[in-house]
């Protein structure tokens, strides 16, 4: 099964520039279904984490205002070739996804 997260990481000296694309509908809970007129239930990512070799290096707390299929970029200092970078998310309905890459 393919992950809902795509990661691209570029290593420069001791910093990794990380770019992620996360597949998620990110429903706010305020949109109405055009066919039924009923409100579409809220369903959005609440937390994104990044680990470097199993050590937590970043946590982001999100809410319903983040766009569908969010793009998220950040840097990780202290990274080196061969390190394993893992990105994961959890949503408000208990869903989750994760992906990892080895820096080169």
Model confidence pLDDT, tens digit, residues 1-50: 457 999 999 999 889 999 999 999 999 999 999 999 999 999 999 999 99
**pLDDT value of position 3:** 78
Distance of CA 95 to the CA centre of its chain: 12
Domain of 16, CATH number, reads: 2.60.40.10
**pLDDT value of position 2:** 57
What is the number of structural domains in the chain? 1
Name the one residue in this structure whose structure tokens are 């946590």. Answer: 59
Range of the domain at 66: 5-102
pTM for the complete prediction? 0.93
pLDDT-derived band at 80 (thresholds 50, 70, 90) equals very high
Mean pLDDT of 65-83: 97
Average pLDDT of the chain?
96
Residues in contact with 58: Cβ distance below 8 Å, sequence separation at least 6, in sequence order: 48, 49, 50, 74, 76
């Amino acid at each position: 099964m393919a992950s809902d997260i795509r990661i691209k990481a570029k290593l420069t000296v001791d910093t990794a520039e990380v770019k992620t694309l996360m597949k998620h509908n990110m429903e706010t809970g305020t949109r109405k279904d055009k066919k039924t007129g009923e409100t579409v239930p809220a369903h959005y990512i609440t937390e994104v984490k990044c680990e470097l070799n199993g050590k937590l290096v970043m946590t982001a707390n999100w809410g319903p205002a983040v766009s569908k299929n969010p793009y998220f970029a950040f840097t990780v200092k202290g990274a080196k070739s061969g390190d394993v970078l893992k990105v994961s998310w959890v949503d408000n309905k208990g869903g989750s996804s994760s992906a990892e890459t080895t820096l080169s």
